[in-house]
Amino acid sequence: QKEVEQNSGPLSVPEGAIASLNCTYSDRGSQSFFWYRQYSGKSPELIMSIYSNGDKEDGRFTAQLNKASQYVSLLIRDSQPSDSATYLCAVSREGGSYIPTFGRGTSLIVHP
Amino acid sequence: ETGVTQSPTHLIKTRGQQVTLRCSSQSGHNTVSWYQQALGQGPQFIFQYYREEENGRGNFPPRFSGLQFPNYSSELNVNALELDDSALYLCASSSDVYRVQETQYFGPGTRLLVL
């Protein structure tokens, strides 16, 4: 069974710090990796996608992928209170149709 | 705003009843996926429709069924509601289900409470 594991948190960081969110996955055939942000009571919003090993940067967000270790992470630089949300990691495999498997999410709290 | 809409936004039902949830996909998208998200959990895949055909199904019983219409909007039907069906139901649309780098965009969700 494909599994995506995330620490449920909460992860608490001070404003301006770097928040580091981690995700591991069990399916070695996974090819696409996504980070979604979900505010309380709202639907998930895609913030980053990554498909090859290494780092991918978009503004204050950096996604890091290591397929050998089956590990994907999200770094948020200069964290703001508005970044307080649950961050969902999603993974999909190659071949067949695109059906991602989601982790349970990590709750991030950025305190002033 | 993703362009994906869902109705209703909230719904209260009693155990044993039936419910229909609706989703309109983003313009140009031919694929709709439905997810159930219980409190404190990640979204769990229910099923996917591609060009009006079911294209994959998660570990949900047959009382969860769906449809996709020629305009690519979709319905999720749940029969014989159980208390554990209380959750946020999410619809997501995408434009090319077989493209490995495809992403999907979520609607605002329908919150269902079963009493």
DSSP code string of B16-82:
T--EEEEEEPPTT--EEEEEEE-TTS--EEEEEEETTEEEEE-S--TTEEEEE-TTS-EEEEE-S--
Minimal Cβ distance to A99: which of B56, B105, B108? B56
Minimal Cβ distance to B56: which of A97, A102, A104? A97
Identify the closest residue of chain B to A96 by CA–CA distance. B98
First CA to last CA distance, chain A: 41
Residue B94 and residue A100: Cβ atoms within 8 Å? Answer: no
Chain B contact present for A10, CB below 8 A: no
pLDDT reported for residue A31: 86
The contacts of residue B58 (CB under 8 Å, 6+ apart) are B44, B45, B46, B47
CA–CA dist B44, B34 (Å, integer): 8
pLDDT tens per residue, range A30-56: 888 999 999 998 999 999 999 999 999
Q: How close A62 comes to chain B (CA, Å)? A: 18
pLDDT tens per residue, range A53-86: 999 999 999 999 999 999 999 999 999 999 999 9
Phi, psi (5° rounding) for residue A62? -130, 125
Residue A42 and residue B100: Cβ atoms within 8 Å? Answer: no
Is there a cis peptide before residue B8, judged by omega within 30 degrees of 0?
yes
pLDDT reported for residue A95: 58
β A85-93/A30-38 pair status? antiparallel
